[in-house]
């Protein structure tokens, strides 16, 4: 109902990422959206400001909070927002009614984090006396590392990465410990093992969360093939347990590729919030050096370029001139930039909560979905996979669902 | 507080939405279904209709499904914050869809309360929590107690327990009566306001019993819980009221709660405090009037000091 087209495109730039111009540090004045890229849609602007400038909580009225809570809920950022406001000491500025919603989301996070720690405790026994590195990814890693920015951050499963060489050993240990594959279907099993970057997801009756075991961070059939061995080698131990986390630069790269290489970007604004948070948490000379280096080693410069471009444009992520210059080397051609600017802007942000669910996915989303599949697998494999899937689903067409089943 | 005159309600529903302060939560309701206006007024008539802006805990709509099919088989869908959590319903089932949707959204969004799946009422300052599984006669019993005029409705569906105060918050939304219960209540209490009967919904026939003026006047008066009562309707059964061990009541309540696991230690403490401070009973009944009298006597016994928690 509310138009997301907030401003027209300003005058053209020189095709650069825009990272090199107007670079800001974390002490810079409040973010201003005046890039060559459209600003975030109006219904997100107050939420974004709260995330990166929590003090702005003092300036909101109860109408603002109504929208902020609903938008944050849609974007799965309500718990994150609680964490940011609490750490800045401004929760007290939030009126009581919306504050209770923030507290509810925080309780949800605490429960998830507890379940993740409980699961990791269970895994510790299963992996007893394994010399190889066990690397936690994303949500589980942030929890185990105790990174402040991740307090309140929603996550659904625990992601673990091991070397491909020990994958069989890891899997048999997990089976022994009672973990069962979520995809018993033979073709699905084959799909994951031959072409994915992870084992089929696993569940255990004692643990709430799902476990995904990866051997690299992108599908092995994709256009970009990061060097998994080097990722493992650079991984750093997390004190107080058998676990490691990816190196800071690789954590940023992982989020960037997940968002801009292996997804359609639709409704994934919170992953851009992760990019911003990681850079703010780790930022400094070390990261400025490591990030372009690692991106070059693993061939992940392009997704990193996108991640920094949009994080800076929409979240005011502080990017040093040196880092900006180095990453600009990975920029795509201007026409691709322009196209991606438009498509990502349309897809990434959650819709206005007063809108209706679209009956059909918009053209921009379908372009991005097609792009994600194109980047994930070569055409011959796509054709084979699509044929297999449709043959199989035709063979066992399920009964038509009772429309009232879900209430 | 701005109150919309009746003819404007259809317009308010289409535009900014009607704000209903239901005690434990504020709801903003929108709809483009004009047929919904009359039933909505009949079951929420005693609530102050606001169209003020400001924070609402739930903002939800019941909207016509667009597309060519609307001419053949019109449907309505429930939309909350841009999502449709259910499949569309036939257009004639608008009010039941709204009610189910609001219940669902309340449990999804108001998780800062400990939420029990219970009928809750109050008499003489004693809050009564009646946790039950569907089909145990919870709604009928609640409706009967309220219809008798001797109990105040807090909610027919939720025990809303504040973790900060340990008090029960009222949420006196319309009581959803199903099938035979509709006539049971109508014949016993001809004075209660029942909305229209919706035939052939997924749960059979449904009619909603409206909260009265006195109930609505007290929507912000929280109540200290005094009785935890597990009701069970059995056709032809003789009335029995038995004490139930607090430990057993505790474990039954944890299973009955919508968000016990999620709230962790806070929920454990809240339910522990609840069973410690309440008289815990199991009620089996075959006759509604007998059951209501028995509960009334239990409240009187507590008031007179003849029964206290832990006995």
Please tell me which residue of chain B has the smallest CA distance to A407.
B86
> How high is the pLDDT of residue A212?
94
Tokens of A49: 């400001």
pLDDT 10s digits, B111-144: 999 999 999 999 999 999 999 888 788 889 999 9
Beta-carbon separation of B82 and A406 below 8 A: no
Which pLDDT score is estimated for B255?
94
Set of chain A residues whose Cβ sits within 8 Å of the Cβ of B57: 97, 101
For position B303, what pLDDT does the model report? 92
Chain B residue numbers with beta carbons less than 8 Å from the beta carbon of A82 are none
CB A259 within 8 Å of CB A267: no
Mean pLDDT of B185-206: 90
What distance in Å separates the CA atoms of residue A279 and residue B86, rounded to the nearest whole number?
39
A 54-93 near B (Cβ less than 8 A):
62-63, 65-66, 69-70, 73-74
Query: Which pLDDT score is estimated for A233?
Result: 96
Contact B112 A104 (CB under 8 A): yes
- pLDDT tens-digit series, residues A147-197: 999 999 999 999 999 999 999 999 999 999 999 988 777 877 777 777 777
Residue B311 has pLDDT above 70, yes or no: no
A404 CA to chain B: closest CA distance, Å? Answer: 6
pLDDT digits (tens, 9 = 90+) for B29-44: 999 999 999 999 999 9
Nearest chain A Cα distance for residue B263, angstroms: 6
Structural domains of chain A, ranges and CATH numbers in brackets: 42-393 (3.30.460.40)
**CA end-to-end span of chain B:** 47
More confident call, B269 vs A27: B269
Q: What is the pTM of this model?
A: 0.88
Residue B189 CB contacts under 8 Å (≥ 6 apart), including other chains: B144, B147, B148
Sorted by where each begins, the domain ranges of chain B are: 6-109, 114-303
pLDDT of residue A32: 60
Q: Is the pLDDT of residue B222 over 80?
A: yes
DSSP string, A239-307: TTSSEEE--HHHHHHHHHHHHHTSS--TT-HHHHHHHHHHHHHH-SHHHHHHHHHHHHHHT-HHHHHHH
pLDDT band at A136 (very low <50, low <70, confident <90, very high): very high
Task: Inform me whether the pLDDT recorded for A403 exceeds 50.
Answer: no
Share of chain A above pLDDT 70, in %: 88
The mean per-residue pLDDT over the stretch A109-129 comes to 93
More confident residue, A399 or B33: B33
Res. B197: pLDDT tops 70:
yes
**Which residues of chain A make contact with B266, given a CB cutoff of 8 A?**
107
| Partners of residue B83 in chain A, C-beta under 8 Å | 74, 357
The ipTM of this complex is 0.92
Q: How far is B181 from chain A (nearest CA, A)?
A: 21
Say yes or no to pLDDT of B2 above 60.
Answer: no
Task: Note whether A114 contacts B85, CB cutoff 8 Å.
Answer: no
Closest alpha carbon to B128 in B165, B105, B154: B154
Rounded Cα gap, residues A38 and A36, in angstroms: 7
pLDDT the model gives residue A372: 80
Q: Which residues contact B215 (CB under 8 A, 6 or more apart)?
A: B46, B146, B152, B153, B170, B172
- Is the model more confident about B283 or about A199? B283
């Amino acid at each position: 109902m509310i138009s997301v087209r907030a401003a027209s495109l300003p005058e053209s730039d020189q095709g650069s990422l825009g990272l090199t111009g107007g670079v800001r540090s974390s002490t810079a004045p409040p973010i201003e959206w005046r890039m060559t890229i459209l600003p975030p849609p109006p219904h997100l602007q107050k939420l974004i400001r709260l995330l990166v400038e929590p003090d702005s909580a003092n300036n909101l009225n109860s109408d603002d909070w109504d929208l902020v809570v609903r938008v944050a809920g849609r974007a799965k950022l309500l718990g994150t927002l609680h964490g940011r406001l609490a750490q800045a000491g401004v929760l007290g500025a939030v009126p009581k009614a919306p504050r209770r919603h923030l507290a509810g989301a925080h309780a949800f996070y605490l429960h998830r984090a507890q379940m993740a720690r409980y699961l990791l405790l269970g895994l510790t026994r299963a992996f007893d006396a394994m010399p190889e590195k066990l690397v936690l990814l994303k949500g589980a890693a942030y929890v185990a590392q105790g990174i402040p920015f991740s307090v309140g951050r929603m996550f659904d499963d625990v992601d673990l990465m091991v070397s491909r060489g020990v994958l069989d050993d890891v899997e048999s240990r997990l089976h022994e410990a009672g973990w069962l594959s979520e995809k018993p279907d033979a073709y699905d099993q084959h799909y994951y093992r031959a072409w994915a970057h992870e084992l089929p997801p696993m569940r255990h009756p004692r643990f709430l969360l799902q476990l995904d075991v990866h051997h690299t961070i992108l599908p092995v059939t994709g256009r970009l093939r990061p060097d998994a061995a080097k990722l493992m080698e650079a991984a750093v131990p997390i004190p107080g347990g058998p676990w490691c986390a990816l190196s800071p630069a690789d954590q940023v790269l992982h989020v960037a590729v997940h968002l801009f290489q292996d997804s359609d970007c639709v409704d994934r604004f919170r992953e851009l919030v992760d990019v911003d948070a990681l850079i703010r948490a780790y930022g400094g000379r070390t990261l400025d050096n490591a990030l372009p280096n690692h991106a070059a080693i693993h061939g992940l410069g392009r997704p990193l370029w996108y991640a920094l471009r949009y994080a800076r444009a929409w979240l005011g992520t502080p990017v040093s001139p040196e880092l900006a210059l180095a990453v600009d080397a990975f920029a795509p051609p201007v026409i691709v930039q322009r196209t991606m600017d438009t498509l990502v802007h349309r897809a990434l942000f959650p819709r206005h909560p007063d809108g209706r669910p679209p009956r059909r996915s918009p053209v921009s989303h379908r372009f991005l979905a097609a792009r994600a599949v194109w980047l994930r697998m070569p055409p011959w494999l796509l054709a084979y996979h699509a044929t297999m899937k449709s043959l199989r689903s035709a063979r066992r067409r399920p009964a038509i669902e009772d429309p009232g089943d879900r209430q | 507080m701005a109150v919309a005159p009746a003819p404007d309600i259809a317009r308010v529903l289409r535009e900014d939405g009607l704000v209903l302060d239901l005690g434990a939560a504020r709801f903003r309701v929108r709809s483009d279904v004009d047929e919904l206006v009359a039933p909505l007024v009949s079951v929420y008539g005693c609530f102050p209709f606001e169209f003020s802006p400001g924070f609402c805990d739930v903002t939800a709509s019941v909207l016509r499904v667009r597309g060519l099919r609307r001419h053949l088989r019109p449907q309505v869908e429930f939309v909350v914050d841009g999502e449709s959590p259910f499949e569309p319903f036939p257009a004639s089932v608008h009010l039941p869809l709204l009610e189910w949707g609001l219940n669902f959204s309340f449990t999804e969004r108001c998780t800062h309360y400990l939420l029990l799946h219970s009928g809750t009422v109050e008499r003489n300052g004693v809050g009564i929590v009646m946790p039950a599984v569907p089909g145990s006669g919870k709604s009928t019993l609640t409706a009967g107690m309220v219809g008798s005029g001797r109990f105040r409705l807090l909610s027919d569906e939720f025990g809303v327990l504040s973790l900060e105060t340990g008090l029960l918050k009222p949420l006196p939304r319309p009581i959803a009566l199903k099938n035979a219960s509709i006539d049971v209540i109508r014949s016993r209490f001809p004075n209660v306001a029942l909305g229209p009967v919706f035939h052939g919904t997924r749960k059979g026939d449904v009619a909603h019993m409206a909260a009265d003026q006195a109930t609505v006047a007290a929507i912000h008066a929280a109540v200290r819980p005094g009785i935890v009562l597990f009701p069970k309707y059995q056709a032809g059964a003789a009335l029995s009221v038995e004490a139930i061990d607090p430990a057993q009541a505790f474990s039954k309540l944890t299973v009955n709660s919508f968000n016990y696991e999620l709230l962790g230690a806070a929920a454990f403490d809240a339910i522990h405090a609840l069973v410690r401070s309440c008289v815990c009973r199991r009620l089996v009944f075959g006759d509604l009037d007998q059951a209501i009298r028995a509960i009334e006597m239990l409240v009187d016994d507590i008031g007179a000091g003849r029964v206290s928690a832990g006995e």
